[in-house]
Amino acid sequence: MSASSESSPRPGSAGGQVDPFRDIALHGDPEAVAQLLEEFRGRISRMLAVRMNPRLRGRLDASDVIQDTFMEVHSRLDEYRERQNMPFFLWVRFLAGQKLTQMHRRHLGAGQRDARRELPDALRSMPGATTATLAGCLMSSGITPSEVAMRMEDEERLVKVLDGMRELDREVLALRHFEGLSNIEVASLLDIEPSAASRRYVRALARMQEKLRLFQGRREPGARGDWSSPE
């Protein structure tokens, strides 16, 4: 299925915030749009890096996915200008995510959508964040959870903690700390107010910290049994 045959998720509220790229997207000439897309390249590359299945690395070049995405943006720009159904960067990110989903299906037969039914449409439209990549980011980022993680023996344990988290919590962490999306952008993807997105992010961090503490406690000398994620 081509990306053009799938509809974009409906826009989030994002508290009525203005899209900073709207004027260029709606009124810019092809050269101006191309320059704007180049500014997006790094952010899209980060999205692909955290969502590409490790089995595809070495077989799929992220730069090719980005180039195909940018070509599709130009070919569908009139459609975007007519509908304006989400902030421009998030629309470009959405198209890139669809491209990646196609590659997963083509090479791996992956069916992430069925496994991600509980997520909002805008998150379900692309593969989920890989926990190993996200763990590496958190271990080196210097944010508060990484300070907790550094007290663990190795990154593998953080991967297990992330695997045991609710998928929405894991996605919020990936969006903020790996992809570098703003709170406004996350709010738009979740279709909630920015204040609610901020609270959800804080709760996700707190849940990860708690799971890390429980994991450590169960791995201390004398602890019994294997660790399992608490509900």
Angle at 136 between CA 217 and CA 61, to 5 degrees: 150
Q: How big is the chain by its Cα radius of gyration, in Å? A: 19
Domain that holds residue 166: 131-219
Number of domains into which the chain is organized: 2
Please indicate, yes or no, if residue 186 is contained in any of the structural domains.
yes
Please indicate, yes or no, if residue 109 is contained in any of the structural domains.
yes
- Based on the fold, state whether residues 17 and 114 are members of the same structural domain: yes
Would you state the pLDDT for residue 4?
A: 44
3-class secondary structure, 231: coil
- Based on the fold, state whether residues 183 and 205 are members of the same structural domain: yes
Given 78, 107, 124, the domain boundary residue is: 124
> Which pTM was predicted?
0.79
Q: Determine the Cα–Cα distance for residues 42 and 61; give it in Å rounded to an integer.
A: 14
CA distances from 202 to 12, 59, 125, 172 (A): 20, 37, 24, 10
Would you state the pLDDT for residue 105?
A: 86
Q: Look up the CATH number of the domain holding residue 162.
A: 1.10.10.10
Exposure string over 55-93, b if 16+ CB within 10 A, otherwise e: ebeeebebeebbebbbebbeebbeebeeeeebbbbbbbb
Given 124, 153, 186, the domain boundary residue is: 124
Would you state the pLDDT for residue 7?
A: 56
Q: Determine the Cα–Cα distance for residues 10 and 146; give it in Å rounded to an integer.
A: 34
Given 94, 124, 154, the domain boundary residue is: 124
3-class secondary structure, 57: strand
Per-residue tens of pLDDT for the chain, all 231 residues: 444 445 565 544 444 456 889 999 999 999 999 999 999 999 999 999 899 888 887 788 889 999 999 999 999 999 999 988 889 999 999 999 999 998 888 888 755 555 566 788 778 878 888 888 888 777 766 555 555 555 555 577 888 888 888 989 999 999 998 899 999 999 999 999 999 999 999 999 999 888 888 876 665 554 433 333 333
